[in-house]
């Protein structure tokens, strides 16, 4: 399948004429990513992962577009866009379903802790076709499977570089690309990526940086 990375956490997957978009957020080129999409997966409610206005507009324009998200996110989107309510679906951890011809499995359940005084929200990690894993805002490692392509959250208010590297080591996917890099300048990005690339290679992970709108076959 073809994987295209957009700014920050948004990724577009394409195979056999079908298009699946994950986490079209406000930091990303969401309208572009959603163009022609058949299904959307949303890991959690934060705006950098969900541009609610762009999603509502896309669902109004495209009557075949389906969306899957944690229950709270799905409920809010149904209230905000009742005309698309029957195409918005709740996802629980441990589920298996199909979206636009892609096989999906869900993992996790909670967003990583930012601070004890900041409420924790639901977060679902999605594995697509037993291949691409998008963890959202968490370092939950899928159990009982071998991830082939890991999307690595490089930087966030809830993480530190050691945790990022340990996540890559724990998953041990053959290949990895970055997500959640929208808050890093070039210097910070270079430092974190050098650690991920060097240490990940020791455990069999080939890490590669993708620029916004750059694609790779996975």
CA 16 to chain centre: 21
pLDDT band (50, 70, 90) for residue 82: confident
pLDDT over 90 (residue 133): yes
Residues 33-53 have a mean pLDDT of 98
Residues 60-84 have a mean pLDDT of 94
pLDDT of residue 17: 96
Distances (CA, A) of 114 to 27, 93, 118: 19, 21, 7
Task: Calculate what percentage of the chain has a pLDDT beyond 90.
Answer: 98
- Tell me which CATH homologous superfamily contains domain 2-108+125-217: Ribonuclease Z/Hydroxyacylglutathione hydrolase-like (3.60.15.10)
Three-state DSSP state, 175: strand
204: number of Cβ within 10 Å: 11
Residues 66-87 have a mean pLDDT of 94
- Mean pLDDT (the chain) is 97
Radius of gyration of the chain (CA): 16
- Biggest distance spanned by C-alpha atoms of the chain: 51
Q: How far apart are CA 110 and CA 124, in angstroms?
A: 7
pLDDT of residue 83: 87
* Domain limits, the chain: 2-108+125-217
Residues 81-101 have a mean pLDDT of 95
């Amino acid at each position: 399948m073809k994987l295209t990375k957009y700014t920050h956490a948004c990724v577009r997957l394409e195979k056999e004429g079908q298009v699946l978009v994950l986490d079209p957020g406000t930091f990303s080129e969401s309208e572009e990513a959603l163009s022609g999409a058949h299904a959307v997966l949303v890991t959690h409610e934060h705006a950098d992962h969900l541009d609610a206005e762009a999603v509502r507009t896309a669902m109004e324009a495209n009557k075949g577009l389906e969306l899957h998200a944690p229950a709270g996110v799905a409920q809010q989107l149904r209230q905000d866009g009742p005309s698309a309510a029957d195409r918005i679906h709740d996802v629980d951890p441990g589920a298996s379903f199909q979206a636009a011809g892609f096989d999906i499995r869900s993992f996790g359940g909670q967003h990583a802790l930012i601070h004890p005084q900041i409420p924790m929200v639901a977060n679902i990690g999605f594995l697509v076709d037993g291949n691409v894993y998008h963890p959202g805002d968490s370092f939950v490692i899928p159990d009982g499977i071998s991830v082939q392509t890991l999307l690595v959250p490089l930087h966030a208010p809830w993480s530190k570089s050691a945790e990022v590297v340990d996540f890559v080591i724990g998953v041990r996917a053959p290949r990895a690309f970055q997500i959640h890099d929208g808050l890093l300048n070039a210097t910070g990005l270079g430092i974190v990526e050098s650690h991920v690339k060097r240490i990940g290679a020791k455990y069999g992970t080939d890490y590669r940086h993708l620029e916004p709108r750059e694609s790779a076959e996975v």
